[in-house]
């Protein structure tokens, strides 16, 4: 029965052509090992599915879930079939979000994600994802996940791991907060532009994990990292600005908002708004190289200008 | 968690505030708790205490920094301290230039709205 269900799911994935800018998700909840973990994995997996559909507007037929004991079990064969089918379906400007929930192991040189039956190591994941069209956001929320970053890093890819060293091999809480970030997108939307970027979800989850350990008063046993420039070197959310982050900050998990340029007057104001926002970003970049007073004066002038134009846009809509 | 459960159960601000205050004593680094307590104090008209709690939320590393600075700006505005309100709202805009709440607040502070 399960094989029939998977075959139907794969046929569906392969047969319906995707149009541009579509968003797909694969949730893989691996072997749990105990009732306690089975319960938390199911809770997270169900919550993620619901959030993707209801909060982020993913179509139900573009979300594939492989889970221990589910109609489509989380086995390596099913992972391979699902990814192969998606390679046929995705277009170059589509987005694929893959989230791994469960347990991982590492021998120091390679990591595995624990599936039902034989596991898949980082090399096998790399092979399975090679040739996947579109932008890939790969989130391994498990213990010992850090080696997925160098293994899967590449052009047009954002790779996130819940841990950053072999020593971080304990059950993680990162999935709870990553899903919370997607669900509470208004709070996670740090720049308040009304959209949730992968960077914002990652930053929210990283900070929430840190706060959770601080509240418990225990040593932090997981530090999440991200790589999006293809160099295979991950960075933490709180690290000084570095090479990573550019792609993740411009990769959004929610749908593209409808264009508002139908009205010429609004379009003109929108153009001004974008220009001022760019000026603000340039000014912020120069902050350390100019006197504080001069920066504050210039920033306030631009902020007031931006606020006035934004108010006009909101009033005109 | 307890405070959230009480809030969800419809417990009013007068009974909620002591719960948040107790949590703040037990865990002074819980930024979300300071923010929640600050909002309750604002509702109760105690902007002075609200401002203290909002400052604590920012110092404790509130995840949503833009909202935290806006909360603080609103409390300063309620106290009639436009200079500090202006500084706080500009800090919010520095984090989130397109945040409508911060923009409206800025216009209110500078007299443009």
In this predicted model, what pLDDT tens digit does every residue of A173-184 receive, in sequence order?
999 999 999 998
Is residue B19 over pLDDT 90?
A: no
With an 8 Å Cβ cutoff, is B28 touching chain A? no
Is residue A13 over pLDDT 50?
A: no
Contacts of A214 in chain B (CB under 8 A): 29
What pLDDT shows up at residue A284? 87
Q: Please give the structure tokens belonging to residue A299.
A: 């920033």
Q: What CA dihedral angle connects B7, B12, B15 and B20, to 10 degrees?
A: 40
Q: Which residue of B has its CA nearest to A273?
A: B98
The shortest CB-CB distance from A191 to any of B95, B107, B113 is to B95
Is residue B51 over pLDDT 80?
A: yes
pLDDT-derived band at A256 (thresholds 50, 70, 90) equals confident
Q: How crowded is residue A159: how many other Cβ atoms within 10 Å of its Cβ?
A: 27
Judge: B103–A296 Cβ closer than 8 Å, yes or no.
Answer: no
Range of A47-56, A204-213, A271-280, B60-69 with top mean pLDDT: A47-56
CB A201, CB A141: distance < 8 Å: no
With an 8 Å Cβ cutoff, is B100 touching chain A? yes
What DSSP designation does B28 have?
Answer: T
Q: Please give the structure tokens belonging to residue A60.
A: 């139900």
pLDDT tens digits for range A229-243: 999 999 888 776 667
Q: Which residue of B has its CA nearest to A209?
A: B63
With an 8 Å Cβ cutoff, is A12 touching chain B? no
Q: What is the Cα B78 distance to its own chain's centre?
A: 12
The shortest CB-CB distance from A306 to any of B61, B97, B101 is to B97
pLDDT-derived band at A18 (thresholds 50, 70, 90) equals very low
């Amino acid at each position: 029965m399960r094989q029939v269900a998977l075959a139907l799911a794969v046929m569906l994935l392969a047969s319906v052509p995707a149009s541009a800018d579509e968003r797909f998700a694969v949730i893989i909840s691996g072997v749990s090992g105990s009732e306690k973990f089975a319960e938390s994995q199911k809770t997270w997996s169900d919550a993620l599915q619901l959030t993707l559909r209801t909060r982020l507007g993913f179509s139900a037929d573009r979300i594939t879930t492989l889970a221990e004991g589910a109609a489509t079990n989380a086995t390596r064969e099913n992972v391979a079939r699902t990814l192969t089918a998606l390679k046929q379906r995705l277009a170059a400007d589509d987005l694929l979000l893959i989230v791994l929930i469960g347990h991982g192991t590492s021998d120091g040189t390679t990591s595995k994600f624990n599936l039902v039956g034989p596991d898949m190591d980082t090399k096998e994941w790399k092979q399975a994802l090679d040739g996947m069209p579109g932008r890939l956001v790969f989130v391994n929320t498990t213990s010992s996940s850090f080696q997925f970053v160098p293994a899967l890093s590449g052009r047009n890819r954002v790779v996130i791991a819940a841990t950053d060293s072999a020593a971080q091999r304990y059950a993680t809480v990162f999935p709870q907060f990553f899903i919370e970030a997607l669900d509470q997108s208004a709070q996670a939307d740090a720049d308040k532009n009304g959209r949730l970027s992968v960077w914002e979800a990652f930053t929210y989850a990283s900070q929430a994990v840190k706060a959770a350990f601080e509240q418990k008063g225990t040593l932090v046993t997981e530090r999440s990292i991200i790589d999006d420039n293809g160099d295979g070197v991950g960075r933490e959310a709180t690290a000084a600005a570095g090479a990573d982050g550019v792609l993740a900050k411009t990769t959004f998990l929610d749908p593209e908002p409808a264009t508002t340029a139908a009205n010429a007057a609004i379009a003109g104001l929108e153009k001004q708004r974008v220009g001022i926002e760019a000026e603000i970003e340039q000014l912020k970049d120069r902050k350390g190289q100019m006197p504080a007073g001069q920066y504050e004066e210039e920033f306030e002038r631009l902020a007031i200008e931006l606020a006035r134009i934004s108010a006009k846009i909101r009033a005109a809509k | 968690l307890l405070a959230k459960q009480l809030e969800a159960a419809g417990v009013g601000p007068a009974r909620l505030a002591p719960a948040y205050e107790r949590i703040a004593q037990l865990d002074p680094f819980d930024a979300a708790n300071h923010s929640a307590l600050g909002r309750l104090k604002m509702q109760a008209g105690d902007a002075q205490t609200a401002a203290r709690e909002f400052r604590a939320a920012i110092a404790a590393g509130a995840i949503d920094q833009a909202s935290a600075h806006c909360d603080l700006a609103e409390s300063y505005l309620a106290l009639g301290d436009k200079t500090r309100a202006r500084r706080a709202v500009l800090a919010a805009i520095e984090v989130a230039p397109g945040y409508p709440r911060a923009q409206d607040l800025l216009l209110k502070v500078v007299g443009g709205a």
